[in-house]
Amino acid sequence: MPLLYTIGKLTVAPALRLAFRPTVEGLEHVPETGGAIFAGNHLSVADELFLGTVVPRHLAFWAKSEYFTGTGAKGAFSRFVLTGLGAIPVERAGGRAALSAFDAAIPALKGGDLVVVYPEGTRSPDGRLYRGRTGAARLAVSAGVPIIPVGMIGTDQAQPIGARVPRPGRAKITVRFGKPLDFTGRPDDRTSLRAMTDELMAEIQKLTGQEYVPRYAPPRAHPPIAGEPGAV
């Protein structure tokens, strides 16, 4: 586990558990060893914080590449923190540049790490669950690892879009893990990836109880990318 991530597990994680007392269900589905993909609904930037708080192992999140290439003291600090956390850089531009995030994630998964993907491609604008993009399924087939469905509940109230930090007392946080989905050996053609993704989104909906919207979430200020994303 990267040093800064370890420090966060010893400092930030206990503080979040004390302040929010999140409920965790299905933790037995989180593997003790080996690579896996966590794929969940995306309500708030706080999703990453609470997921990292309740999962005992290191989680590799995607972060836009600009955070790794900034200049000056701020750029150096951002690069130091994200590198120390074991984050995976991804290009916002999409296309082949965005696919480099998948190229970086595959050896991490095969090496036994855990990677987080949000199939909706962006945070839900209204609390509903939107159609999933096929990146998570493609990554699972390519790396030969299972996908663990994740349901986050209450994070959009604890830290709504636009809020800088999560605030205690606004909502009860619940993190639910579903049974791993094993797509090993499945073909990676467009039709198969769509079917696997629809199966994944159905499992996520069971965990969250959200209303499902059979279309992609409306884009925000930037195009969907692989990690926040699953968009490729």
pLDDT in tens, 149-181: 999 999 999 999 888 889 998 899 999 999 999
- Which domains are present in the chain? 3-13+24-213 (3.40.1130.10)
On whether the CB atoms of residues 126 and 215 are closer than 8 A, the answer is no
Bigger pLDDT: 232 vs 22: 22
Q: What is the pLDDT of residue 60?
A: 93
On whether the CB atoms of residues 98 and 231 are closer than 8 A, the answer is yes
Using a pLDDT cut of 70, give the percent of the chain over it: 91
pLDDT in tens, 76-96: 888 888 888 888 887 655 555
User: Per the confidence metrics, is the pTM higher than 0.85?
Assistant: yes
Q: What is the pLDDT of residue 136?
A: 93
Give which of 64, 70, 103, 114 is closest to 225, Cα–Cα.
64
Cβ-based burial of 95 (10 A; exposed 0-12, middle 13-18, buried ≥19): exposed
Rounded Cα–Cα distance for residues 8 and 24 (Å): 19
Q: What are the strands, taking DSSP E only, across 86-179?
A: 88-90, 114-117, 129-130, 147-153, 174-177
Give which of 52, 94, 87 is closest to 219, Cα–Cα.
94
φ, ψ of residue 31 to 5 degrees: the values are -65, 145
Per-residue pLDDT at 207 exceeds 90: yes
Q: What is the pLDDT of residue 89?
A: 80
Rounded Cα–Cα distance for residues 33 and 200 (Å): 22
The secondary structure element, H or E, covering residue 69 is helix 66-69
φ, ψ of residue 154 to 5 degrees: the values are 95, -10
Using a pLDDT cut of 90, give the percent of the chain over it: 67
φ, ψ of residue 19 to 5 degrees: the values are -75, -35
On whether the CB atoms of residues 155 and 52 are closer than 8 A, the answer is no
Per-residue pLDDT at 223 exceeds 80: no
For the segment 101-129, the average pLDDT, to the nearest whole number, is 91
Quote the DSSP letter at residue 183.
-
Q: What is the pLDDT of residue 178?
A: 98
pLDDT bracket for residue 6 (50, 70, 90) = very high
Residue type, 101: A
Mean pLDDT of the chain: 89
**Token pair 């399924």 in the structure block, residue:** 137
pLDDT in tens, 49-64: 999 999 999 999 877 7
For the segment 185-212, the average pLDDT, to the nearest whole number, is 97
Per-residue pLDDT at 185 exceeds 80: yes
Q: What is the pLDDT of residue 224?
A: 47
